[in-house]
Amino acid sequence: MRRLWLLLWLFVVPAVQAASGSWAADALGATLSHGGVSEQSPALRPPNVLTSDKARIVSVSWRYLLTSPPPAGLQVQLCMAGRCVPLAGASGTTLALQGAPAASELRFSYVVQTRGALFPPLRVLSNQVIVNYQ
C-alpha cells in the first residue's frame, strides 16, 4: 500500500503543479507602402489573466494573411520584448520562444527588402497566434 501511495505521489502531484494551457489572439494587420520600412502589427495579448505568472511558453503557432502573394524580399518576424524570431512562411509553429513568460505580448513585424514605393501596397489582413504554455 505504501508503494502505491508513493507512485501516486510521484506521478499525480507533478501533473497538478505543472498546469498547462493555451491562449489565442488575433489582430488586424499592417499596410506596407514603402520598401525598407518596418511595420508592426498591433499587440497580441492573452485574453485573460493567466493563473500563474510562472507559466512559460512551450510553443507558438502563427498565421498571417496577405491580400496578395508575398512580394520578393518580404521578411516577417514574430517579436516580444527584446526578442524576434524570423518566420518561414504564412503559418507554422516555433519553439524559439520556449521558456519566455506566457503572458508576454507578441507582435508581427513586416518589412520588404527593396527600395522605393510598393505598388500596390502590401496589406496584411490578419495576424493570429496560439501560445501553448506550461
For the stretch 41-81, pLDDT in tens is 999 999 988 878 899 999 999 999 999 999 999 999 999 99
Distance CA(69)–CA(36), nearest Å, equals: 18
Residue holding cell 492573452?
A: 46
Check: CB of residue 50 under 8 Å from CB of residue 118. Answer: no
Instruction: Report pLDDT for 79.
Output: 98
Per residue, what are the HEC states of the chain? Answer: CHHHHHHHHHHHHHHHHCCCEEEEEEEECCEEEECCCCEECCCECCCCCCCCCCCEEEEEEEEEEECCCCCCCEEEEEEECCEEEECCCCEEEECCCCCCECCCCEEEEEEECCCCEEEEEEEEEEEEEEEEEC
Residue holding cell 507559466?
A: 55
Q: Which class for 48: exposed (0-12), middle (13-18), buried (19 or more C-beta within 10 A)?
A: exposed
107-127: pLDDT as tens digits: 999 999 999 999 999 999 999
6-15: pLDDT as tens digits: 333 334 444 4
11-30: pLDDT as tens digits: 444 444 557 899 999 999 99
Instruction: Report pLDDT for 18.
Output: 55
Instruction: Report pLDDT for 7.
Output: 37
Distance CA(37)–CA(74), nearest Å, equals: 11
Domains and CATH numbers, the chain: 20-133 (2.60.120.260)
Any idea what the Cα angle at residue 16 is, between residues 14 and 17, rounded to 5°? 65
